[in-house]
Structure 1
Amino acid sequence: MSVLVVIPARHASTRYPGKPLVELTGATGESRSLVHRTWDAARAIQGVDRVVIATDDDRIRDAAEGFGADVVMTSPDCANGTERCAETLELLGGTAEIVVNLQGDAPLTPPWFIEDLVAGLRAAPDAGIATPVLRCDGATLNALLADRRAGRVGGTTAVFGADNRGLYFSKEVIPFLPGTYGPEDETPVFHHVGVYAYRPAALAAYVGWTAGPLELLEGLEQLRFLENGETLLCVEVDAKGRRFWELNNPEDVPRIEAMMAEMGMA
Protein backbone atom coordinates (compact mmCIF):
# COMPACT_ATOMS: atom_id res chain seq x y z
CA MET A 1 0.00 0.00 0.00
CA SER A 2 2.33 2.71 -1.24
CA VAL A 3 1.80 6.44 -0.86
CA LEU A 4 3.46 8.83 -3.29
CA VAL A 5 3.62 12.54 -2.41
CA VAL A 6 3.95 14.85 -5.40
CA ILE A 7 4.78 18.55 -4.99
CA PRO A 8 3.72 20.28 -8.23
CA ALA A 9 5.78 23.44 -8.76
CA ARG A 10 5.54 25.74 -11.75
CA HIS A 11 7.35 28.99 -12.36
CA ALA A 12 4.75 30.59 -14.63
CA SER A 13 2.08 31.35 -12.04
CA THR A 14 -0.44 33.92 -13.27
CA ARG A 15 -0.86 35.63 -9.90
CA TYR A 16 2.70 35.24 -8.66
CA PRO A 17 5.35 34.31 -11.25
CA GLY A 18 8.34 32.50 -9.77
CA LYS A 19 6.46 31.75 -6.56
CA PRO A 20 8.16 28.39 -5.76
CA LEU A 21 11.54 30.14 -5.51
CA VAL A 22 10.37 32.96 -3.24
CA GLU A 23 12.44 33.01 -0.05
CA LEU A 24 10.75 32.71 3.35
CA THR A 25 12.58 33.61 6.55
CA GLY A 26 11.88 31.51 9.62
CA ALA A 27 12.03 32.22 13.34
CA THR A 28 15.82 31.73 13.45
CA GLY A 29 16.48 34.08 10.54
CA GLU A 30 17.22 31.23 8.12
CA SER A 31 15.90 31.82 4.61
CA ARG A 32 14.71 28.95 2.43
CA SER A 33 12.64 28.91 -0.73
CA LEU A 34 8.94 28.11 -0.69
CA VAL A 35 9.46 24.85 -2.57
CA HIS A 36 12.26 23.87 -0.17
CA ARG A 37 10.00 24.46 2.84
CA THR A 38 7.19 22.48 1.21
CA TRP A 39 9.65 19.64 0.58
CA ASP A 40 10.63 19.74 4.26
CA ALA A 41 6.94 19.60 5.23
CA ALA A 42 6.41 16.57 2.99
CA ARG A 43 9.40 14.73 4.42
CA ALA A 44 7.90 14.99 7.92
CA ILE A 45 4.78 12.98 6.95
CA GLN A 46 4.58 9.46 8.37
CA GLY A 47 3.65 6.52 6.16
CA VAL A 48 4.92 7.98 2.88
CA ASP A 49 6.99 5.85 0.53
CA ARG A 50 8.32 8.55 -1.80
CA VAL A 51 8.29 12.34 -2.20
CA VAL A 52 8.98 14.01 -5.55
CA ILE A 53 8.87 17.56 -6.88
CA ALA A 54 7.14 17.73 -10.27
CA THR A 55 8.03 20.71 -12.44
CA ASP A 56 8.49 21.79 -16.03
CA ASP A 57 11.01 24.52 -15.21
CA ASP A 58 14.80 24.12 -15.20
CA ARG A 59 15.23 26.82 -12.53
CA ILE A 60 12.99 24.97 -10.10
CA ARG A 61 14.62 21.63 -10.97
CA ASP A 62 18.09 23.03 -10.33
CA ALA A 63 17.07 24.63 -7.03
CA ALA A 64 15.29 21.45 -5.88
CA GLU A 65 18.19 19.17 -6.76
CA GLY A 66 20.43 21.63 -4.92
CA PHE A 67 18.72 20.84 -1.61
CA GLY A 68 18.59 17.10 -2.35
CA ALA A 69 15.06 16.69 -3.67
CA ASP A 70 13.88 13.96 -6.03
CA VAL A 71 12.64 15.77 -9.18
CA VAL A 72 10.41 14.60 -12.03
CA MET A 73 10.26 16.76 -15.16
CA THR A 74 6.72 17.00 -16.52
CA SER A 75 5.13 18.59 -19.56
CA PRO A 76 4.55 22.36 -19.69
CA ASP A 77 1.10 21.51 -21.05
CA CYS A 78 -0.18 20.41 -17.62
CA ALA A 79 -2.99 22.84 -16.78
CA ASN A 80 -2.84 22.33 -13.01
CA GLY A 81 -1.32 20.31 -10.21
CA THR A 82 -3.74 17.41 -10.60
CA GLU A 83 -2.75 16.93 -14.24
CA ARG A 84 0.91 17.18 -13.21
CA CYS A 85 0.36 14.49 -10.54
CA ALA A 86 -1.28 12.22 -13.12
CA GLU A 87 1.68 12.59 -15.47
CA THR A 88 4.14 12.05 -12.62
CA LEU A 89 2.42 8.82 -11.61
CA GLU A 90 2.59 7.59 -15.20
CA LEU A 91 6.28 8.52 -15.53
CA LEU A 92 7.05 6.63 -12.30
CA GLY A 93 5.32 3.48 -13.46
CA GLY A 94 1.83 3.98 -12.01
CA THR A 95 2.28 1.67 -9.03
CA ALA A 96 1.20 3.86 -6.08
CA GLU A 97 -1.94 3.02 -4.15
CA ILE A 98 -2.55 6.68 -3.24
CA VAL A 99 -1.08 9.83 -4.76
CA VAL A 100 -0.96 12.94 -2.58
CA ASN A 101 -0.83 16.34 -4.23
CA LEU A 102 0.91 18.64 -1.74
CA GLN A 103 0.67 22.01 -3.46
CA GLY A 104 3.99 23.83 -3.59
CA ASP A 105 2.50 26.90 -1.89
CA ALA A 106 1.63 25.21 1.42
CA PRO A 107 4.74 25.18 3.63
CA LEU A 108 2.68 25.45 6.82
CA THR A 109 0.81 22.18 6.20
CA PRO A 110 1.25 20.02 9.34
CA PRO A 111 2.14 16.37 8.66
CA TRP A 112 -0.95 15.08 10.45
CA PHE A 113 -3.17 16.84 7.88
CA ILE A 114 -1.78 14.47 5.23
CA GLU A 115 -1.78 11.44 7.52
CA ASP A 116 -5.44 12.03 8.41
CA LEU A 117 -6.25 12.66 4.73
CA VAL A 118 -4.75 9.36 3.57
CA ALA A 119 -6.51 7.49 6.39
CA GLY A 120 -9.80 9.14 5.43
CA LEU A 121 -9.50 8.11 1.78
CA ARG A 122 -8.57 4.54 2.72
CA ALA A 123 -11.68 4.35 4.91
CA ALA A 124 -13.98 5.55 2.07
CA PRO A 125 -13.70 3.03 -0.79
CA ASP A 126 -16.39 4.82 -2.83
CA ALA A 127 -14.37 8.06 -2.97
CA GLY A 128 -11.82 8.65 -5.70
CA ILE A 129 -10.35 11.75 -4.13
CA ALA A 130 -10.14 13.33 -0.68
CA THR A 131 -9.11 16.78 0.50
CA PRO A 132 -8.71 18.38 3.94
CA VAL A 133 -10.89 21.15 5.31
CA LEU A 134 -10.20 23.23 8.41
CA ARG A 135 -12.91 25.04 10.34
CA CYS A 136 -12.13 28.76 10.41
CA ASP A 137 -11.89 30.71 13.62
CA GLY A 138 -12.98 34.33 13.45
CA ALA A 139 -9.45 35.60 12.82
CA THR A 140 -8.97 33.39 9.76
CA LEU A 141 -12.44 34.15 8.45
CA ASN A 142 -11.86 37.89 8.81
CA ALA A 143 -8.54 37.57 6.95
CA LEU A 144 -10.30 35.78 4.08
CA LEU A 145 -12.98 38.47 3.96
CA ALA A 146 -10.36 41.23 4.04
CA ASP A 147 -8.60 39.70 1.04
CA ARG A 148 -11.84 39.66 -0.94
CA ARG A 149 -12.65 43.26 -0.02
CA ALA A 150 -9.18 44.25 -1.24
CA GLY A 151 -9.76 42.46 -4.53
CA ARG A 152 -7.27 39.68 -3.75
CA VAL A 153 -7.98 36.03 -4.36
CA GLY A 154 -6.77 34.38 -1.17
CA GLY A 155 -7.88 31.11 0.37
CA THR A 156 -10.62 28.82 -0.88
CA THR A 157 -13.63 27.77 1.17
CA ALA A 158 -15.61 24.53 0.99
CA VAL A 159 -19.10 23.28 1.72
CA PHE A 160 -19.94 19.59 2.12
CA GLY A 161 -22.86 17.38 3.08
CA ALA A 162 -23.61 15.31 6.17
CA ASP A 163 -21.77 12.39 4.53
CA ASN A 164 -18.70 14.66 4.09
CA ARG A 165 -19.02 14.60 0.32
CA GLY A 166 -17.88 17.87 -1.19
CA LEU A 167 -20.72 20.00 -2.57
CA TYR A 168 -18.80 23.06 -3.77
CA PHE A 169 -15.55 25.00 -3.44
CA SER A 170 -15.16 28.71 -4.06
CA LYS A 171 -12.70 31.56 -3.88
CA GLU A 172 -15.57 33.52 -2.42
CA VAL A 173 -16.34 32.98 1.25
CA ILE A 174 -19.18 30.46 1.47
CA PRO A 175 -21.75 29.86 2.90
CA PHE A 176 -23.50 33.21 3.33
CA LEU A 177 -22.84 34.73 6.75
CA PRO A 178 -25.64 36.82 8.28
CA GLY A 179 -23.49 38.03 11.19
CA THR A 180 -19.93 38.86 12.24
CA TYR A 181 -17.45 36.87 14.32
CA GLY A 182 -14.80 37.75 16.87
CA PRO A 183 -11.21 36.49 16.43
CA GLU A 184 -11.64 33.48 18.74
CA ASP A 185 -15.15 32.52 17.62
CA GLU A 186 -15.90 29.23 15.92
CA THR A 187 -17.48 29.86 12.52
CA PRO A 188 -19.47 27.77 10.00
CA VAL A 189 -16.86 28.44 7.30
CA PHE A 190 -14.33 25.78 6.30
CA HIS A 191 -10.98 26.77 4.81
CA HIS A 192 -10.01 24.37 2.06
CA VAL A 193 -6.47 23.13 2.60
CA GLY A 194 -5.02 22.84 -0.90
CA VAL A 195 -3.94 19.21 -0.64
CA TYR A 196 -5.47 16.20 -2.40
CA ALA A 197 -5.20 12.43 -2.09
CA TYR A 198 -6.23 10.49 -5.19
CA ARG A 199 -6.77 6.92 -6.17
CA PRO A 200 -4.95 6.26 -9.48
CA ALA A 201 -8.22 5.53 -11.30
CA ALA A 202 -9.58 8.97 -10.38
CA LEU A 203 -6.40 10.64 -11.64
CA ALA A 204 -6.61 8.74 -14.92
CA ALA A 205 -10.25 9.77 -15.37
CA TYR A 206 -9.48 13.41 -14.59
CA VAL A 207 -7.08 13.92 -17.48
CA GLY A 208 -9.68 12.49 -19.86
CA TRP A 209 -12.26 15.12 -18.92
CA THR A 210 -12.27 18.65 -20.28
CA ALA A 211 -12.41 21.58 -17.89
CA GLY A 212 -16.03 22.54 -17.19
CA PRO A 213 -17.55 26.01 -16.72
CA LEU A 214 -17.27 26.00 -12.92
CA GLU A 215 -13.59 25.03 -12.95
CA LEU A 216 -12.90 27.74 -15.53
CA LEU A 217 -14.84 30.42 -13.64
CA GLU A 218 -13.38 29.67 -10.20
CA GLY A 219 -9.94 28.53 -11.35
CA LEU A 220 -10.23 25.55 -8.98
CA GLU A 221 -9.04 22.21 -10.37
CA GLN A 222 -11.04 20.06 -7.93
CA LEU A 223 -14.32 21.26 -9.42
CA ARG A 224 -13.64 19.08 -12.48
CA PHE A 225 -14.23 16.05 -10.25
CA LEU A 226 -17.54 17.43 -8.97
CA GLU A 227 -18.69 18.47 -12.44
CA ASN A 228 -18.17 14.89 -13.61
CA GLY A 229 -19.89 13.17 -10.68
CA GLU A 230 -16.79 11.87 -8.88
CA THR A 231 -17.14 11.46 -5.11
CA LEU A 232 -14.83 13.94 -3.40
CA LEU A 233 -14.44 13.33 0.32
CA CYS A 234 -13.85 16.31 2.63
CA VAL A 235 -11.77 15.28 5.64
CA GLU A 236 -11.98 17.71 8.56
CA VAL A 237 -8.58 18.17 10.16
CA ASP A 238 -7.52 19.67 13.49
CA ALA A 239 -4.91 22.43 13.46
CA LYS A 240 -3.97 21.61 17.09
CA GLY A 241 -3.04 25.23 17.67
CA ARG A 242 -0.96 25.53 14.49
CA ARG A 243 -1.57 28.49 12.19
CA PHE A 244 -2.29 27.74 8.54
CA TRP A 245 -2.17 29.90 5.41
CA GLU A 246 -1.19 29.38 1.79
CA LEU A 247 1.06 31.62 -0.27
CA ASN A 248 -1.16 32.90 -3.08
CA ASN A 249 -0.08 36.54 -3.42
CA PRO A 250 3.05 38.59 -2.61
CA GLU A 251 1.13 40.05 0.35
CA ASP A 252 1.06 36.56 1.90
CA VAL A 253 4.85 36.42 2.39
CA PRO A 254 5.00 38.63 5.52
CA ARG A 255 1.84 36.97 6.85
CA ILE A 256 3.37 33.49 6.56
CA GLU A 257 6.73 34.64 7.94
CA ALA A 258 4.92 36.11 10.95
CA MET A 259 3.11 32.80 11.50
CA MET A 260 6.41 30.93 11.25
CA ALA A 261 7.96 33.24 13.82
CA GLU A 262 4.95 32.84 16.12
CA MET A 263 5.20 29.04 15.92
CA GLY A 264 9.00 29.00 16.24
CA MET A 265 9.50 27.38 12.82
CA ALA A 266 13.15 27.64 11.72
Structure 2
Amino acid sequence: MKTVILIPARYASARYPGKPLAELTQKDGSRKSLIQMSWEAARQIAGVDEVHVVTDDDRIREASEGFGASVIMTSPEAENGTARCAEALANGAISADLVVNFQGDAPLTPPWFVEELIAAMKADPGAQMATPVLQCDPATYDMFVEDRQNGRVGGTTAVFGEDHRALYFSKEIVPYIDPAKVPERDIPVYHHVGVYAYRPEALRSYTFWGVSRLETLEGLEQLRFLVHGVPVRCVVVESRGRMFWELNNPADVARIEKVLKEQ
Protein backbone atom coordinates (compact mmCIF):
# COMPACT_ATOMS: atom_id res chain seq x y z
CA MET A 1 0.00 0.00 0.00
CA LYS A 2 1.62 3.23 -1.14
CA THR A 3 1.29 5.80 1.64
CA VAL A 4 1.96 9.49 1.07
CA ILE A 5 2.06 12.19 3.74
CA LEU A 6 0.96 15.68 2.73
CA ILE A 7 1.56 18.68 4.99
CA PRO A 8 -0.92 21.43 4.01
CA ALA A 9 0.34 24.91 4.87
CA ARG A 10 -1.25 28.28 4.22
CA TYR A 11 0.05 31.72 5.05
CA ALA A 12 -3.30 33.50 5.39
CA SER A 13 -4.50 31.97 8.66
CA ALA A 14 -7.31 34.02 10.20
CA ARG A 15 -6.18 33.40 13.78
CA TYR A 16 -2.43 33.46 13.13
CA PRO A 17 -1.29 34.95 9.79
CA GLY A 18 2.05 33.55 8.65
CA LYS A 19 1.84 30.70 11.15
CA PRO A 20 3.83 28.09 9.12
CA LEU A 21 6.85 30.41 9.11
CA ALA A 22 6.63 31.28 12.82
CA GLU A 23 9.87 30.29 14.51
CA LEU A 24 10.05 28.36 17.76
CA THR A 25 13.00 28.06 20.12
CA GLN A 26 14.41 24.54 20.35
CA LYS A 27 15.95 22.81 23.35
CA ASP A 28 19.46 23.80 22.22
CA GLY A 29 18.46 27.45 21.82
CA SER A 30 18.29 27.37 18.02
CA ARG A 31 15.14 28.42 16.19
CA LYS A 32 13.17 26.56 13.52
CA SER A 33 10.03 27.42 11.61
CA LEU A 34 6.84 25.57 12.41
CA ILE A 35 6.69 24.09 8.91
CA GLN A 36 10.25 22.75 9.18
CA MET A 37 9.51 21.16 12.56
CA SER A 38 6.35 19.57 11.15
CA TRP A 39 8.24 18.24 8.11
CA GLU A 40 10.94 16.77 10.33
CA ALA A 41 8.29 15.14 12.55
CA ALA A 42 6.58 13.64 9.49
CA ARG A 43 9.89 12.25 8.23
CA GLN A 44 10.22 10.19 11.42
CA ILE A 45 7.07 8.20 10.68
CA ALA A 46 7.72 4.62 9.60
CA GLY A 47 6.06 2.97 6.62
CA VAL A 48 5.66 6.13 4.52
CA ASP A 49 6.74 6.35 0.88
CA GLU A 50 6.71 10.13 0.31
CA VAL A 51 6.38 13.37 2.29
CA HIS A 52 5.38 16.65 0.61
CA VAL A 53 4.54 20.16 1.79
CA VAL A 54 1.38 21.37 0.03
CA THR A 55 0.88 25.13 -0.22
CA ASP A 56 -0.28 28.00 -2.40
CA ASP A 57 2.22 30.50 -1.00
CA ASP A 58 5.64 31.20 -2.50
CA ARG A 59 7.08 32.24 0.88
CA ILE A 60 6.24 28.84 2.33
CA ARG A 61 7.49 27.11 -0.83
CA GLU A 62 10.85 28.89 -0.69
CA ALA A 63 11.30 28.22 3.03
CA SER A 64 10.36 24.54 2.61
CA GLU A 65 12.64 23.96 -0.33
CA GLY A 66 15.37 25.66 1.68
CA PHE A 67 15.38 22.91 4.30
CA GLY A 68 15.03 20.15 1.72
CA ALA A 69 11.30 19.48 1.51
CA SER A 70 9.45 18.47 -1.63
CA VAL A 71 6.71 21.03 -2.33
CA ILE A 72 3.43 20.71 -4.26
CA MET A 73 1.74 23.96 -5.22
CA THR A 74 -2.04 24.17 -5.13
CA SER A 75 -4.55 26.91 -5.82
CA PRO A 76 -5.49 29.65 -3.32
CA GLU A 77 -9.12 28.54 -3.65
CA ALA A 78 -8.55 25.39 -1.55
CA GLU A 79 -10.56 26.19 1.57
CA ASN A 80 -8.73 23.86 3.98
CA GLY A 81 -6.08 21.17 4.28
CA THR A 82 -8.32 18.33 3.12
CA ALA A 83 -9.25 20.26 -0.01
CA ARG A 84 -5.57 20.95 -0.63
CA CYS A 85 -4.80 17.22 -0.34
CA ALA A 86 -7.67 16.42 -2.69
CA GLU A 87 -6.32 18.90 -5.24
CA ALA A 88 -2.82 17.40 -5.09
CA LEU A 89 -4.34 13.99 -5.81
CA ALA A 90 -6.67 15.25 -8.54
CA ASN A 91 -4.00 17.13 -10.50
CA GLY A 92 -1.70 14.11 -10.58
CA ALA A 93 0.97 15.55 -8.32
CA ILE A 94 0.83 12.35 -6.26
CA SER A 95 -0.49 8.82 -6.62
CA ALA A 96 -1.27 6.85 -3.48
CA ASP A 97 -3.37 4.10 -1.95
CA LEU A 98 -3.51 6.05 1.30
CA VAL A 99 -3.12 9.80 1.79
CA VAL A 100 -2.20 11.15 5.23
CA ASN A 101 -2.89 14.80 6.04
CA PHE A 102 -0.26 15.74 8.62
CA GLN A 103 -0.98 19.12 10.17
CA GLY A 104 1.66 21.77 9.67
CA ASP A 105 0.90 23.31 13.07
CA ALA A 106 1.47 20.23 15.23
CA PRO A 107 5.22 19.55 15.54
CA LEU A 108 4.63 17.73 18.84
CA THR A 109 2.81 14.90 17.02
CA PRO A 110 4.78 11.74 17.88
CA PRO A 111 5.38 9.23 15.08
CA TRP A 112 3.36 6.44 16.68
CA PHE A 113 0.15 8.51 16.45
CA VAL A 114 0.40 8.34 12.66
CA GLU A 115 1.84 4.84 12.51
CA GLU A 116 -1.14 3.50 14.48
CA LEU A 117 -3.48 5.48 12.24
CA ILE A 118 -1.96 3.92 9.12
CA ALA A 119 -2.08 0.45 10.70
CA ALA A 120 -5.79 0.90 11.49
CA MET A 121 -6.54 1.81 7.88
CA LYS A 122 -4.56 -1.15 6.57
CA ALA A 123 -6.41 -3.49 8.94
CA ASP A 124 -9.81 -2.23 7.76
CA PRO A 125 -9.93 -2.06 3.93
CA GLY A 126 -13.50 -0.75 4.08
CA ALA A 127 -12.60 2.33 6.12
CA GLN A 128 -12.68 5.49 4.01
CA MET A 129 -11.20 7.82 6.59
CA ALA A 130 -9.68 7.73 10.07
CA THR A 131 -8.18 10.16 12.58
CA PRO A 132 -6.39 9.81 15.94
CA VAL A 133 -7.87 10.86 19.28
CA LEU A 134 -6.10 11.17 22.62
CA GLN A 135 -7.77 11.08 26.02
CA CYS A 136 -7.14 14.33 27.89
CA ASP A 137 -4.92 14.27 30.93
CA PRO A 138 -5.58 16.97 33.58
CA ALA A 139 -2.95 19.35 32.14
CA THR A 140 -4.39 19.18 28.63
CA TYR A 141 -7.95 19.52 29.87
CA ASP A 142 -6.90 22.63 31.82
CA MET A 143 -5.46 24.14 28.61
CA PHE A 144 -8.79 23.56 26.86
CA VAL A 145 -10.63 25.27 29.71
CA GLU A 146 -8.13 28.14 29.82
CA ASP A 147 -8.58 28.79 26.09
CA ARG A 148 -12.37 28.85 26.39
CA GLN A 149 -12.26 31.14 29.42
CA ASN A 150 -10.05 33.58 27.53
CA GLY A 151 -12.16 33.53 24.38
CA ARG A 152 -9.59 31.64 22.33
CA VAL A 153 -10.52 29.01 19.76
CA GLY A 154 -7.92 26.32 20.29
CA GLY A 155 -7.90 22.54 20.15
CA THR A 156 -10.72 20.26 19.01
CA THR A 157 -12.52 17.54 20.94
CA ALA A 158 -14.07 14.35 19.58
CA VAL A 159 -16.99 12.19 20.66
CA PHE A 160 -17.30 8.65 19.30
CA GLY A 161 -19.38 5.53 19.80
CA GLU A 162 -18.56 2.05 21.03
CA ASP A 163 -17.61 1.12 17.47
CA HIS A 164 -15.12 4.02 17.44
CA ARG A 165 -17.06 5.83 14.74
CA ALA A 166 -17.08 9.57 15.27
CA LEU A 167 -20.35 11.10 16.46
CA TYR A 168 -19.13 14.70 16.42
CA PHE A 169 -16.11 17.01 16.53
CA SER A 170 -16.22 20.44 18.13
CA LYS A 171 -14.14 23.46 19.06
CA GLU A 172 -16.07 23.39 22.31
CA ILE A 173 -15.26 20.95 25.09
CA VAL A 174 -17.54 17.96 24.51
CA PRO A 175 -18.95 16.24 26.36
CA TYR A 176 -19.70 19.03 28.81
CA ILE A 177 -18.57 18.36 32.37
CA ASP A 178 -19.81 20.31 35.38
CA PRO A 179 -16.66 22.13 36.67
CA ALA A 180 -17.41 20.83 40.16
CA LYS A 181 -17.45 17.25 38.87
CA VAL A 182 -14.33 17.04 36.72
CA PRO A 183 -12.57 13.82 37.78
CA GLU A 184 -8.93 13.93 38.83
CA ARG A 185 -8.22 10.93 36.58
CA ASP A 186 -9.79 9.33 33.53
CA ILE A 187 -11.31 12.56 32.18
CA PRO A 188 -13.92 11.53 29.55
CA VAL A 189 -12.83 14.13 26.99
CA TYR A 190 -10.83 13.21 23.91
CA HIS A 191 -8.47 15.63 22.19
CA HIS A 192 -8.73 15.30 18.43
CA VAL A 193 -5.28 14.95 16.90
CA GLY A 194 -5.62 16.81 13.60
CA VAL A 195 -4.15 14.11 11.39
CA TYR A 196 -6.30 12.33 8.78
CA ALA A 197 -5.84 9.24 6.65
CA TYR A 198 -8.03 8.98 3.56
CA ARG A 199 -8.64 6.56 0.73
CA PRO A 200 -8.35 8.40 -2.61
CA GLU A 201 -12.09 7.97 -3.30
CA ALA A 202 -12.94 9.75 -0.03
CA LEU A 203 -10.87 12.77 -1.09
CA ARG A 204 -12.53 12.83 -4.50
CA SER A 205 -15.98 12.82 -2.90
CA TYR A 206 -14.99 15.58 -0.47
CA THR A 207 -14.38 18.06 -3.26
CA PHE A 208 -17.55 17.04 -5.10
CA TRP A 209 -19.82 17.67 -2.08
CA GLY A 210 -18.82 21.28 -1.48
CA VAL A 211 -18.70 23.11 1.84
CA SER A 212 -21.25 22.06 4.48
CA ARG A 213 -22.94 24.34 6.99
CA LEU A 214 -21.60 22.51 10.05
CA GLU A 215 -17.99 22.68 8.93
CA THR A 216 -18.42 26.41 8.31
CA LEU A 217 -19.90 26.98 11.77
CA GLU A 218 -17.29 24.94 13.63
CA GLY A 219 -14.38 25.60 11.28
CA LEU A 220 -13.76 21.84 11.12
CA GLU A 221 -13.26 20.27 7.71
CA GLN A 222 -13.85 16.67 8.86
CA LEU A 223 -17.51 17.43 9.58
CA ARG A 224 -18.18 17.38 5.83
CA PHE A 225 -17.68 13.61 5.89
CA LEU A 226 -20.11 13.13 8.79
CA VAL A 227 -22.72 15.34 7.15
CA HIS A 228 -22.61 13.10 4.07
CA GLY A 229 -22.79 9.87 6.03
CA VAL A 230 -19.18 8.77 5.63
CA PRO A 231 -18.00 7.10 8.86
CA VAL A 232 -14.89 8.65 10.39
CA ARG A 233 -13.01 6.09 12.44
CA CYS A 234 -11.43 7.41 15.65
CA VAL A 235 -8.17 5.65 16.47
CA VAL A 236 -7.37 5.99 20.18
CA VAL A 237 -3.66 6.63 20.71
CA GLU A 238 -1.56 6.88 23.86
CA SER A 239 0.68 9.80 24.83
CA ARG A 240 3.39 7.57 26.36
CA GLY A 241 4.27 10.46 28.64
CA ARG A 242 4.53 13.03 25.85
CA MET A 243 2.57 16.27 25.86
CA PHE A 244 0.60 16.93 22.69
CA TRP A 245 -0.71 20.33 21.64
CA GLU A 246 -1.07 22.25 18.39
CA LEU A 247 -0.10 25.82 17.60
CA ASN A 248 -3.54 27.35 17.12
CA ASN A 249 -2.95 30.83 18.52
CA PRO A 250 0.08 33.01 19.34
CA ALA A 251 -0.44 32.07 23.00
CA ASP A 252 0.46 28.46 22.10
CA VAL A 253 4.04 29.36 21.17
CA ALA A 254 5.09 29.51 24.83
CA ARG A 255 3.26 26.25 25.58
CA ILE A 256 5.03 24.37 22.79
CA GLU A 257 8.44 25.90 23.49
CA LYS A 258 8.10 24.79 27.12
CA VAL A 259 7.49 21.21 25.99
CA LEU A 260 10.40 21.34 23.52
CA LYS A 261 12.75 22.39 26.31
CA GLU A 262 11.53 19.63 28.62
CA GLN A 263 11.52 16.73 26.11
**Separation in 1, partners of 2:152, 2:100:** 28
Residues 114-133 of structure 1: matches in 2 within 5 Å? 114-133=114-133
Find the counterpart in structure 1 of residue 109 from structure 2. Answer: 109
Find the counterpart in structure 2 of residue 78 from structure 1. Answer: 78
**Separation in 1, partners of 2:135, 2:116:** 15
Residues 187-226 of structure 1: matches in 2 within 5 Å? 187-226=187-226
Q: What is the CA-CA distance between 1:94 and the residue it aligns to?
A: 5.1
Q: What is the CA-CA distance between 1:186 and the residue it aligns to?
A: 2.1
Find the counterpart in structure 2 of residue 245 from structure 1. Answer: 245
Structure 2 residue identity aligned to 1:84: R
Would the aligned equivalents of 2:72 and 2:93 in 1 still touch at CA under 8 Å?
Answer: no
**Separation in 1, partners of 2:92, 2:30:** 34
Q: What is the CA-CA distance between 1:92 and the residue it aligns to?
A: 3.7
Would the aligned equivalents of 1:126 and 1:231 in 2 still touch at CA under 8 Å?
Answer: no
Q: Which runs of at least 4 in structure 1 moved beyond 4 Å after TM superposition? A: none
Q: Secondary structure at the match of 1:248?
A: coil
**Separation in 1, partners of 2:160, 2:229:** 14
**Separation in 1, partners of 2:134, 2:52:** 25
What's the TM-score, normalizing by structure 1? 0.96
Q: What is the CA-CA distance between 1:109 and the residue it aligns to?
A: 0.4
Which sections of structure 2, spanning at least 5 residues, go unmatched?
none
Q: Secondary structure at the match of 1:153?
A: coil
Q: Secondary structure at the match of 1:259?
A: helix
Residues 88-107 of structure 1: matches in 2 within 5 Å? 88-92=88-92, 95-107=95-107
Q: How many percent of aligned residue pairs carry the same amino acid?
A: 59
Structure 2 residue identity aligned to 1:170: S
**Separation in 1, partners of 2:7, 2:21:** 13
Find the counterpart in structure 1 of residue 231 from structure 2. Answer: 231
**Separation in 1, partners of 2:88, 2:213:** 26
Q: Secondary structure at the match of 2:75?
A: coil
Structure 2 residue identity aligned to 1:7: I
Structure 2 residue identity aligned to 1:180: V
Give the count of matched residue pairs.
Answer: 261
Q: What is the CA-CA distance between 1:93 and the residue it aligns to?
A: 5.1
Q: What is the CA-CA distance between 1:135 and the residue it aligns to?
A: 0.3
Which sections of structure 1, spanning at least 5 residues, go unmatched?
none
Q: What is the CA-CA distance between 1:180 and the residue it aligns to?
A: 2.1
Q: Secondary structure at the match of 2:59?
A: helix
Q: What is the CA-CA distance between 1:25 and the residue it aligns to?
A: 0.8
Structure 2 residue identity aligned to 1:9: A
Q: Secondary structure at the match of 2:6?
A: strand
Q: What is the CA-CA distance between 1:253 and the residue it aligns to?
A: 0.2
Would the aligned equivalents of 2:226 and 2:232 in 1 still touch at CA under 8 Å?
Answer: yes
